[in-house]
Amino acid sequence: MLAGAALLAPVTQAAALTDEALRLTTDPAQNEYRRIHVEVQHRSGPDTRSYQIWFASQPFDRVADAELHSTLVIGDTEGLNRTAPAFDTQDCWTAGQPVHRTKDDIPVLAPDILEWSCSLSGVMPGVDQWIAVLPVDADGRGLSPLLPIRARTDVPDQRPPPPDTLPITLTLASIVLSAIVLLLYLRRRDILSGRAQTSRAYLYLAPALIGLTALTFYPVAYGVWLAFTDADQSQLGEENWIGLGNFATVLLSPGIVRVTLFTLVWTLVNVTAHVALGLLLAYTLTQPGIRGRTLYRTILLLPWAIPGYISVLAWNGMLQPDGLINAILGTATDFTATPLAARISVILVNIWLGIPFMMMVLSGALQAISTEMFEAAELDGISGWNQFAYLTLPNLKGTLVPVSLLGFIWTFNTFNTIYLMTRGNPYVGFGEPGATDTLVTYVFSVAFDYGRYGVAAAWSVAVFLLLLAFSYLYVKRSGVMEVAR
């Protein structure tokens, strides 16, 4: 019977022991996904206290060349349960039943057990492994030579089933179809009203419009829907409608006031500095008779021309204890260690990044102002400052208002500067926004660090509404000023 088993088993090696042979076999038929099944027949001697299972990816004859997979203790099984372990690196059986285990899930064999089997987890599929079982005495000495057997599991990796693409495909298709139908309807109306030559316009417009609807308006709608669901990292495509729960989470989240205030400070300080300094530089550069104007303009343009992420990473280096700023000052301060210093640092870096855009746009607008007005002012003896305040600024208003609104929206939505400088640190508390987090970077970390998609979507919607409110206020206020003037 033993000989028959040896014939059936593909690889068998037996070791002569001090008292009796240990027979180790593997049965590929019982291998599972990333598990190898081994069977052991051995009458343990009086010195044997435990079995160690060793494995490696090459043949080995010393334990130093292998890794310990698991240990089975030989001892009294009185009072122990035959339970499946919570986390089973080895699933061991004797006589058709799970082995006894201690409270710490260590498998225990009674001394009189002659046959046992284990299913060893954590092996790569399709790769040869060498496995050996070593009886060990009380001092940890091996009682037999290591004679590893070759084994492998060929059960392939089970990939999770592909997510259901049908709903999204259907939605996208219906959006595309309704856009086409709308365009066809408009075209027909145009033809009926006698504007036949314009019918081609719809054809030209269709690709862009369909792309825009399908890939901008649909995602926004989807995002709003997500805000009312319990979507998170662990359940994708199975989210359930939970109503306003996420919005309650948002409103009750710790640090919401702090992060909102910092976002406002961040945006207002940045935009003010961008516009003020951009205007100062644009005004200076458009004065007549400056030596090296082209060179200055080109240098001042560089913060915009250099890819933004590179500038921010370079500033990250410059502000470190052994960076440029400390070298200049002769100090070793970590400018991103304390909340106040970190906040000032990220704001200053973002100011540096944003000036050139304002400078270029405003110098374009300055050049468009008629110079005759200034010549007349010069003749009347109006000083430089008064010229600026009473001629230049009012003439620039048409550019300043929309550009600063745009700057407001852009700065509010800035992500790279903070993420690449501090990642929102210094740390304040678990789940709370960091000291330099703005709403945008905090929403990012809620979504992609904590994996709470539904809550993050609710944050996005709240942030969007906030931004919309501010933009509306701004437009209204600047409109009011226009009427008053």
Partner 1 sequence: MSGRAELIDWVVPAEVRTLRRWLPAAAVVLAIAAVLEGLRYDGPRQIGLLCGLLLLAGCRACLAGDRRTWKRRLGATFAGVGTVIAAHLLVVGEKSLYDLWTLAWLALPSVLALYWLISPRVAAWASGSDDAAFIAECLSSNRRLGPLLSRAGTQVLLIHACAPVVIPLVWIADVAVSPGNVLGGAIGDAFTLDHFAAVLSSAAFGTWIGNSLVVSVGTTIVGLLLAIPAGYAFSRYRFAGRRASMFLFVLVQMFPGIIILLPYFMIMKTLGLLNTSIGLIIVYSVTALPLCVWMLKGFFDSIPREVEEAAAIEGCTQLEIFRHIILPLSLPAVAVTALFSFLTAWNEFLLALVFNTSNDQYTLPVGLASMIPATGQQWGDFAAASILVSIPVVILFIAFQRALVQGLSAGAVKG
Name residues contacting partner 1, limited to 154-213 (CB under 8 A): 162-165, 168, 186-187, 189-190, 193, 195, 197-198, 200-205, 207-209, 211-212
Nearer to partner 1, 307 or 429 (CB): 307
Q: Angle at CA 478, nearest 5°, toward 475 and 481?
A: 150
Window contacting partner 1 (CB under 8 A); options: 51-59, 137-145, 149-157, 453-461 = 453-461
Contact 90, 53 (CB under 8 A): yes
In the window 239-258, what residues touch partner 1 (CB under 8 A)? Answer: none
Of 360, 366, 396, 428, which one interacts with partner 1 (CB under 8 A)?
360
* 148 preceded by a cis bond (ω within 30 of 0): no
Instruction: Supply the minimum distance, in Å, between the C-beta of residue 370 and partner 1.
Output: 19
Instruction: Supply the minimum distance, in Å, between the C-beta of residue 257 and partner 1.
Output: 19
The H or E element spanning position 375 is helix 371-379
Nearer to partner 1, 107 or 407 (CB): 407
Q: Which residues have C-beta within 8 Å of that of residue 420, sequence separation ≥ 6?
A: 309, 312, 313, 316
In the window 278-337, what residues touch partner 1 (CB under 8 A)? Answer: 280-281, 284-285, 287, 289-292, 296, 298-310, 313-318, 320, 322-324, 327-331, 333
d(CA 253, CA 51): 53
Number of residues that bind partner 1 (CB under 8 A): 109
Which tokens belong to 279? Answer: 């205007």
Nearer to partner 1, 30 or 213 (CB): 213
In the window 371-430, what residues touch partner 1 (CB under 8 A)? Answer: 381, 383-384, 398-399, 402-403, 406, 409, 412-413, 415-416, 419-420
Q: Angle at CA 285, nearest 5°, toward 279 and 288?
A: 130
CA dihedral of residues 467, 468, 469, 472 (deg, nearest 10):
120
DSSP assignment of 26-63 equals: E-GGG-BTTEEEEEEE----TT--EEEEEEESS--SSG
Nearer to partner 1, 305 or 484 (CB): 305
Nearer to partner 1, 78 or 380 (CB): 380
Residues in the chain: 485
d(CA 403, CA 395): 14
Nearer to partner 1, 54 or 202 (CB): 202
- Residue 354 makes contact with partner 1 by CB under 8 A: no
d(CA 334, CA 320): 6
Q: Name the residue type at position 54.
A: W
In the window 92-121, what residues touch partner 1 (CB under 8 A)? Answer: none
Instruction: Supply the minimum distance, in Å, between the C-beta of residue 170 and partner 1.
Output: 12
Nearer to partner 1, 99 or 461 (CB): 461
